[in-house]
Structure 1
Amino acid sequence: MIKNFKKLTAIGAAVALTLGLTACGGSGGAAASAGSTGAAGTELASGSAENTSKSGQVFRTLDEIKESGEINIGVFSDKSPFGYVDENGDYQGYDIYFADRLAKDLGVKANYVSTEAANRIEYLQTGKVDVILANFTVTDERKEEVDFALPYMNVSLGVVSPSDKVVKSLDDLTADDPVIVISGTTAETYLIENYPNLTLQKYDTYANAKNALENGNGVAWVNDNTEVLAFASENDGYEVGIATLGSKDTIAPAVTKENQTLLDAINGEIKSLGEEQFFHKDYEETLVDTYGADYEDELVVEGGVTE
């Protein structure tokens, strides 16, 4: 039930402007919720954030989400195998498998909203989504703007480059060797802080970054190691010369600051799913074809407990 009609109208207008970026869809995977919404790219995010945090961010509480019957989840639509739209227009991937189960256990439909790396925080703070499940790496800087739940995956950075000129050390590069990154990612932040003399070619989407590498617009692409390993395995002529760059981090869901009821529910869900080894099942359903069984225990985090 919407308690504040004026606020609904204002937020509804803002959401309408982002029609091209929003979508609702359900995974066809084994964990798909019976209440997940249909094909991608057909509807706006439903519901309206009714609460405002001390910093001016808006959000819906767990009770309000349940009352609406839908949870708006920000996911990637072009980052296989974590979040992508298949040939039938349905969302698939590691994040989607988890999102479907989360929605099912909350007793609501999953309404998927396509997001890009650079606008994940914005979509939370403006109430366009209730939770982000878009391969979101936990960092101290991001903790100042959103609240992270328990982790469900390990990750670090990696570097992929053409096989005929493999980049094995960023120290070998100069300002004349452009490096591809995606805006708003930890890769961008890491390179700016640690390799300020490198020339960065920045792109807003994963699809554009991949196209740039394929078109020779950069000597290498720096991104999550899971992503560059997947790219190299799926595309002939490319090799991951640096499999681990910088520190090891974790991937976790994120909610708007002060949305404690939803944060508690997600943390409880992650702990409960850990008891049934859910994320190992998720890996085997969505990632094993890309990474093989050898990476499973290294990448998967069960119950929010890291080594």
Structure 2
Amino acid sequence: MQGLIASKFLRKLLVPVLGTLLAASAGSAIATDNYWQQVKDRGTLKVGVLVDWPPYAAVDAKNQPSGYDGGVAKLLADHYDLKLEYVVMTGPNRIPFLLTDKADVLVASLAITPEREKQVQFSRPYSAASMVLLGPADVKISTPADFPKYKIGVPRASTTDLGVTKVAPEGTKLHRFDDDASALQAMLVGQIDAVGTSSVIAADVQKRYPGKYKVLYVVNEQLMAIAMRKDRPELLKAMNDFIAADLANGKLNTLFEQWLKKPLPQSVTQSGQ
């Protein structure tokens, strides 16, 4: 009898407590899911961008963010009739800025990697770039087995850094720099023998210095996507809907051709099919 009474007492005590906890949990989930609504109510979309990785990320004559990423950010804000606020950042602080809500989303040449997917969520791809090793014409690199013979520079913590590190054999002399510009400059002045960079930047260097530099090795192709904090499904849906719409109407391809002088890769255009 005493056990029955105790059981009834516990039920009376726990039911209200559990109800309160469930309500709080549901309220938290609703608040999280409504982040996109908060952005729309605010009327301004804060987009994190780079400005030091042309032609993907650059500045215009008025010192405003430009390049392909800057253009995508503008298309995104226009698509949802929102005011655009650029949040300029560097490669290493892109994710920290996002996780502290200094930006709502990143349109910052951020490649999709398993390591990053542990921290943020990605939309479907809106861009892609091949990562290569660029160096003087007399440098002989054809396979990773050749890496240890030379000093190779990469932007610290970048996907180029990850890609080269992944295939580099023991004994490779990797030199890490704060950004792409610093790594490229080190190669140009002979501080390092080769630099990890995008195929587009490599092509620009080759155009400026005909016959002096060549692509030594293709590291990989990287798909880049809009990044945002996790547990914001409505925000993710909005980003995916934008990309699908502007792929279908050709605006993303037109912008890519404007800056990259070639069509969007099939790895981007067919990613959602």
Fold in common (TM above 0.5): yes
Report the RMSD for the aligned CA atoms in angstroms.
2.5
Amino acid paired to 2:75: R
**Corresponding pairs, count:** 243
Query: Which secondary structure does the structure 2 equivalent of 1:165 belong to?
Result: coil
Query: Which secondary structure does the structure 2 equivalent of 1:129 belong to?
Result: coil
Segments of 5+ residues of structure 2 without an aligned counterpart are 1-26
Matches within 5 A, 1:67-82: 67-82=41-56
Q: Deviations over 1:3-56 (max 9, x none)?
A: xxxxxxxxxxxxxxxxxxxxxxxxxxxxxxxxxxxxxxxxxxxxxxxx999xxx
Give me the whole-angstrom Cα distance separating, in 2, the residues matched to 1:96 and 1:299: 22
How far the C-alpha of 1:128 sits from its partner, in A, is 1.1
Question: Quick check: 1:241 aligned with 2:208?
Answer: no
Bigger relative CO (Cα 8 Å, ≥ 6 apart): 2
Give me the whole-angstrom Cα distance separating, in 2, the residues matched to 1:67 and 1:255: 18
Segments of 5+ residues of structure 1 without an aligned counterpart are 1-50
Aligned to 2:66: 92
Select the structure that is richer in helix. Answer: 2
Amino acid paired to 1:204: D
Q: Is the 8 A contact 1:60 1:130 kept in 2?
A: no
Alignment CA distance shift 1:207-1:270 (3 Å): same
TM-score normalised according to structure 2 size: 0.80
Amino acid paired to 2:118: E
Q: Deviations over 1:38-93 (max 9, x none)?
A: xxxxxxxxxxxxx999xxxx998112112222211111111110111123212211
Give me the whole-angstrom Cα distance separating, in 2, the residues matched to 1:61 and 1:98: 21
How far the C-alpha of 1:166 sits from its partner, in A, is 5.3
Q: Is the 8 A contact 2:256 2:264 kept in 1?
A: no
Structure 2 residue aligned with 1:285, among 258, 264, 271?
A: 258
Q: Deviations over 1:206-237 (max 9, x none)?
A: 22122111121211011333333343334443
Structure number with greater Rg is: 2
Question: Quick check: 1:180 aligned with 2:153?
Answer: yes
Identity %: 24
Question: Quick check: 1:154 aligned with 2:154?
Answer: no
Question: Quick check: 1:269 aligned with 2:236?
Answer: no
TM-score normalised according to structure 1 size: 0.72
Question: Quick check: 1:114 aligned with 2:88?
Answer: yes
How far the C-alpha of 1:304 sits from its partner, in A, is 4.3
